[in-house]
A and B are shown apart, each in its own frame.
Chain A
Amino acid sequence: MNGWLGSNPASHSRVPWVLAIPATLALALVVLPVVGLLVRTDLSRLPSLLVTSSSLHALRLSLVTGALSTAACVLLGVPLAVVLARASIPGIRFLRSIVLLPLVLPPVVGGLALLYLLGRKGFLGILITSLTGQQIPFTTTAVVIAQTFVAMPFLVVSLEGALRGSGDRYEQVASTLGARPWTVFRRVTLPLLLPSIGSGVVLSFARALGEFGATITFAGSLEDVTRTLPLEVYTQAEVDVDSAVALALLLIVVAILVIAVARPRSWEGGLR
């Protein structure tokens, strides 16, 4: 995310004009389907479609689980990215590619994998049930786990790239000055990483918000418990397409709001 495009006014002239054609096509590919959605929406019916109790439940559930899984992504993903980028343990290259697995796995397969691990017959699931008496599938916890599973690679990959790109000279200087590893991490690595964490958070929250396949496979679909906005869209599309489209628009608005709020700080911050 190095902002050579806008870091100072003079750099605008440096964008080769040929790029404008593929860039416009790329933008059209992203924007036009949404326009198609808007064109077919009966805007006068929109408010009544959106304030049904089931869509409000789905919206609330999506925001809560998205926030929780993004927090989990940060708590687990930041240390993982630092270890992957800095540690010199054998097999680290292999570990780096393993972390990308959720990106390649079709989400439904990811959901099945979670079910086979944490479900009633999964070995970790059996352990958890015998220790706590609780079952994971069909709970809101399962939604958060599924979202964290699919979203975390986005955070880890963007952080790891930033860490490896920036090198470790500041950390080395800090340790030659006598700082302990934990102090180096807290006072040097983390502050340097903040802009990348910002964009990683946006990416993983957006991914968690749109999560569908792993959730429906692992957590099921029950109003106010596991039926997030994308699942509600899918369920509604079976009967009432207008309502499904309205919900999809709601999802888009939420995503755009979140990105607009979080992005300037993280991405502008990235221009050093």
Chain B
Amino acid sequence: MKKLALGLVTVALFAGACSSSDEPSTKTDAPSATAPAPKPGAAGSGATLTVYAAASLTESFTDLSKQFEAKHPGVSVKFSFAGSSTLVQQLTNGAKADVFASADQTNMDKAVQGGVIDGLAAPFATNKLTIAVAPGNPKGIKSFADLNRSGLTVVTCAAQVPCGSAAKKVEQSTGVTLKPASEESDVKQVLAKVQSGDADAGLVYVTDAKSAGGKVQGVDFPEASGAINTYPIAIVKGSAEAELAKEFEDFVKGPEGKAELNKVGFGTVEP
């Protein structure tokens, strides 16, 4: 029942995002509880920047924040990493943040509709699908069509989540209809099932396959280019550190950000 109760609370939180008639939950001029007001003239020194970022950005953004802090003495960057839809729920229900980086456009659109985004969201990274297999590719999977071979246990994401809708897109473009053993609600569960050896192959993002280290191998396939996923970043409405937030956004989109994102397998977006 504890899980159920937790689920209900989560669902109750989710419910909040849907009622557009509600007054916006973030006040535009209230300073963030965690961030003291910046001294005039010294943009952001001694300030805290709160970044809500998609879970897949954990490694790259953590590294980037260290570089950003080195460039802005006195500034500390704090993160909340979670699934993009969870972050949108939290933001629309009044969570205090300065920057929001989503793993897909759909969730950024939800945040915009929820009235928690200031200005325009800008794309900063791309991700595409790859086939995760056991190291050494024991089943010899070489193409997307190979996933339909009989006797293979294939795991994908459910169509409701971005990695699943990307997989559906590839299925449509290739005419290959997969019969997955499981349609997971998040890409890390797909990865876990390939890692444990219970699935022969799983459709994950390039960055997920890379972050698993040597525990899985990625088999890239050309059709993945037809289902590129774009990551947008934006400043949260009511940010007490809007100037600093803008600087962080530019930093992520700039050369340092690109280098760090490329390192973990993201594609980058030309301005």
Contacts and interface: CB of A to CB of B under 8 A. Distances in A.
Interface of A: 30, 33-34, 36-37, 40-41, 107, 112, 115-116, 119-121, 135, 137-138, 206-207, 209-213, 216-217, 219-223, 226-227, 230-231, 233-239, 241-242, 244-245, 248, 251-252, 255
Contact of A234 (B9, B153, B185, B192): B185
B33 interface: no
Please indicate which of the listed interface residues A209, A223, A238 has the most CB atoms of chain B within 10 Å of its own CB. Answer: A238
B198 A210 contact: no
Contact of A210 (B4, B14, B83, B192): B4
A248 B8 CA distance: 7
Contacts of B9: 33
B4 A255 contact: yes
A190 B115 CA distance: 61
Interface stretch (B42-50, B175-183, B226-234): B175-183
B3 A213 contact: yes
Interface residues of B, number: 35
B182 A138 contact: yes
B3 A216 contact: no
B182 A221 contact: yes
Secondary structure call for the A interface = helix
B8 A221 contact: no
Contact of B182 (A37, A112, A119, A222): A222
B196 A119 contact: yes
A248 B7 contact: yes
Given A220-B182, A220-B184, A222-B182, A237 B14 contact: yes
Interface stretch (B119-127, B140-148, B154-162): B154-162
B214 interface: no
A2 B267 CA distance: 64
Contact of A33 (B12, B155, B158): B12
A37 B8 contact: yes
A224 to B, nearest CB: 11
A121 B198 contact: yes
A220 B3 CA distance: 17
B158 A40 contact: no
Contact of A207 (B1, B83, B180, B184): B1
